[in-house]
Amino acid sequence: MSLSSRLRKGITRRRVIAGSVVLVLVAGLVGWAVWPSTPGWTATDQRITVRSGPGGDQPVELDTRFYLPRDRSGRVPAVLLAHGFGGTKDSVSDDAQSLAERGYAVLTWTAQGFGRSTGQIHLDSPDYEVKDAQRLLDWLAARPEVRLDAAGDPRVGVVGGSYGGGLALLLAGQDPRVDAIVPSITWNDLTKVFLPQSADPTTATGVFKKGWAGLYFGNGAAVGQSALGGGTGEDAGAGGGAGATDPACGRFAADVCQAYLQLATTGKPDAATLALLRRSSPATVLDKIKAPTLLIQGEVDTLFPLSEADANAKGIAATGTPVRVAWFTGGHDGGAGPQTDQDRVKFLTVQWLDHYVKGEGDAPKNSFTYSRVAGFSALDRGLVTNGYSTDTYPGMTGTGSTQVSLAGSAQPIANPPNGNPGALSSLPGAGGRLSELLGGIAGDIPGQFATFESTPVTSAIEVAGAPTVRLRAASPTGEATVFVKLYDVDESGAETLSAGLVAPVRLTGLPASIDQAHEVTVTLPAIVRRIDSGHTVRVVVATSDQAFLTPAQPTVYTVQVGGAITLPTVVGTPIANPQTIWRYVLAGLLVAIVLGLAVVLLVRRRLRRRRHDEVVAEFAETPLVVRDLRKAYSDGFVAVEEISFTVERGQVVGLLGPNGAGKTTTLRVLMGLTMPTGGDALVFGHRLSPGAPILSRVGALVEGPGFLPHLSGLDNLKAYWRATGRPESDAHFEEALEIAGLGDSVHRKTRKYSHGMRQRLAIAQAMLGLPELLVLDEPTDGLDPPQIAEMRRVLRRYATDGRAVLVSSHLLAEVEQTCTHAVVVNKGRIVASGPVDEIVGESPSVLLDVSDVPAASRVLQGLGVRSVTPDGPSGLIVDVNGTARAEVVASLVRAGVDVDRVVPRRRLEDAFLALVGDNSRGSGDR
């Protein structure tokens, strides 16, 4: 070994050692940082009996958990932490632990009617659930660990979301001992929640929100798992549930059950239903709330929209009580929002409690904060948000407004019988994500909606609040129920309905003619959205919506929207997204890990680069050479045992095998999508690795097509080619489009393509640039027979002029008619390879054309052949079972049966089955 070689080897060895040492040190530091430690809290479970009901004489057992800071000196302030509808004390355990570690005594409980608590569900009734919470305040006041303001008066804040948020408001309005509250994603008035009316002047009742009401009632009746802001419910029968219940009502109280059944049946509440909903509404006690209030409301919420928090804020602030409002990018339809927004909400909650309950820190300066989804994180691929604040709360009308002109004449729209078919704008729990779930397709039904649209806006509009629009309507019945929606439409025509929010409008006293109709102002749900420059604003008026109950009688309305829509705007001051320190520490550790790994990987890359840059001269003109390929996984599964084959210029090679044989894994290795654990693959003499430059000479369709749904087929092809960085003149788009055979459909958006159309477009994409080696996995999947026949011709023609094709398919008849050569794989090994004709080999069967099929069948069965199968009006397929063909023909002629044709009958399928038998892993390729 030369001196220079020794020096290089020594330097490489020292670099590897240095990188390894860095990695070990970083791993040790991370281990120290995340090593399990004693939690900063303790918790005890117990059942607390309270007296409930109007007279306070109904005993209820509540399943509770009490958290205390582990390290505390003296008495500490308390937090009463309530769960959401359908949840239990376990639903809020993470928040309880965080608050306890911060120095609070935290009491959580399962509300009566849920989980292991007894009693029935009364919808946060002042006589039941609210009175239960008052008795829990008494319990806290008796605890020696809890700080007191006076005898029997604990120093306490109340925090809760959804059902728990409503409880926090109602409790603060009923018990002056509450020192601060943080209700989130909750309601102001249940009559307006379940019977919303978006027009002014209002009618006696709004439009019944049947989707959410049904989900609430069904969830409470079943007392099972819930998606309504409260995690996982417990078995009602475990540990003292309500016992036998009415199957129609579950654990709902009788009056609540009757109210739902009456409203769901008629869509219009009677006096008793209105009184019950009103009784469980914070709107009735806002003037009595003296506890400083932080109202957190979700922007993605078709159950409790932003207007509910707005009404609460105005009612509480009117008495001089400190109020702060925070809007965030979550809600009942959007989970908890992106991580950055979760952190912001937690920060605001703790800041509020620390100041008003613990007595630490300055009072929050800004009365209003809000956030907007700003894009995606490059690190975790999740959504990120931008936060803003203002000194004063702007309400639903914003601090400014923008008028956007709308075009469109009066239009007739049909109300379907019983609301069927109904438009789909939102689903309970998924409204904000419905556009994604539907693949961007709007849920409006043709004939049932009218459209009024603007020209493209010339500058971005930062909408924050409730847009308004003027509406005229006419109806032959004198009444109309319609749904007004605001879409943001981008340059490609893709439309987005913000958070799935719609404005239900029920109008009465309407004329039959639109010319005699009066304008009403419709207030749409409040949103926070940036409408970018170049986008258009589209207002849709529809007659049906699956989330609401609509008139059963079919009819036709006429609607007209005024000349403009008013979009409220807010100019806020950007704020940082508060993060806890440990996240920054962890981020720093991750950076250190990445740097350490980068050192090691850089060394490995340098060691391997020379090997991959080498060209094996003897295969420099051979499209593909696979040598002793092996692929095993860490769990011990071996997808490819040992495979070797060659694809020469001018060949169309079929890769065949049963499910699990290793075909797809082999193709993934060939495309550089995964690394082999043994052997290699050479393309024109170059070893393959992920991102290898030689891959530019290969076109492929592996594991199905993937296209941008909002682009046309042609635009998708052009976008793909631009990403390669090669000149457009080298793409050969005309040849590719001819291959695709999509005609004018190539100009349609791919989200409207059938599976077969997407497959043909994917094949055209693989052929862009006319690559010298084409690799296709199941190319005829989704194609009809004429398209399959055309594909045969395309592949054979493509292999001319020195190009080559490798195709994997389970359609053996197509492979037999298309391919010049075949490679048969079974259990990760090659069991046969070579020209298709050689693999098919000598036939054990013959095809006969005879003059009398029944007579021929009788003669042949007498000869002792294995089988005789009719094939058309004059054909027979005969497995001769060793009988000489000459004897078969002679016997038929002697019996008076004319024989017109004798053809050997062996197909590739026969050879394939003979080679692999019934052996199949049955687990699919990996």
Section 430-438 average pLDDT:
54
pTM confidence score: 0.62
Cα 747–Cα 748–Cα 752 angle in degrees, nearest 5? 160
pLDDT tens digits, 870-919: 877 888 888 777 777 778 888 888 888 888 777 666 556 666 665 665 54
- Least confident piece of the model among 58-72, 95-109, 416-430: 416-430
Residue 565: pLDDT band with limits 50, 70, 90 = very high
pLDDT at 704: 65
More confident residue, 399 or 29: 399
Tokens 């009958």 sit on residue: 905
pLDDT at 434: 55
pLDDT at 14: 47
Could you give phi then psi for residue 332, rounded to 5 degrees? -65, -25
Compute the Cα dihedral for 758, 763, 767, 772 and give only its sign. positive
CB 132 within 8 A of CB 83: no
pLDDT at 584: 45
More confident residue, 313 or 731: 313
Nearest Cα to Cα of residue 445 among 415, 404, 481, 407: 415
Residue 279 CA from chain centroid, whole number: 38
More confident residue, 472 or 376: 472
Residue 431: pLDDT over 90:
no
Residue 510: pLDDT band with limits 50, 70, 90 = very high
pLDDT at 903: 66
**Dist CA 821 CA 623 (whole Å):** 14
Highest averaged pLDDT of the listed ranges 142-156, 250-264, 412-426, 649-663: 142-156
pLDDT at 582: 40
Q: What secondary structure letter does DSSP report for 752?
A: G
Section 355-374 average pLDDT:
89
Q: What is the mean pLDDT of the chain?
A: 82
Residue 338: pLDDT band with limits 50, 70, 90 = low
Residue 340: pLDDT band with limits 50, 70, 90 = low
CB 324 within 8 A of CB 294: yes
Section 376-381 average pLDDT:
50
The fraction of the chain above a pLDDT of 90, given in percent, is 44
DSSP bridge pairs for 402: 567
pLDDT tens digits, 7-19: 344 444 444 444 4
pLDDT at 907: 59
pLDDT at 604: 59
- Least confident piece of the model among 20-34, 423-437, 514-528, 723-737: 20-34
More confident residue, 400 or 706: 400
pLDDT at 725: 78
Residue 834: pLDDT over 80:
yes
pLDDT tens digits, 627-674: 998 888 777 788 888 889 999 999 999 888 877 778 888 888 877 777
Residue 679: pLDDT over 80:
yes
pLDDT at 414: 96
Residue 217: pLDDT over 90:
no
Q: For residue 201, is the peptide bond before it cis, meaning its omega torsion is within 30 degrees of 0?
A: yes
pLDDT at 656: 84
More confident residue, 800 or 583: 800
pLDDT tens digits, 439-483: 444 578 999 999 999 999 999 999 999 999 999 999 999 999 999
Section 377-390 average pLDDT:
68
CB 403 within 8 A of CB 566: yes
- The three state secondary structure string of 771-799 is CCEEEEECCCCCCCHHHHHHHHHHHHHHC
Section 401-420 average pLDDT:
94
pLDDT tens digits, 149-174: 999 999 999 999 999 999 999 999 99
pLDDT at 179: 98
pLDDT at 277: 95
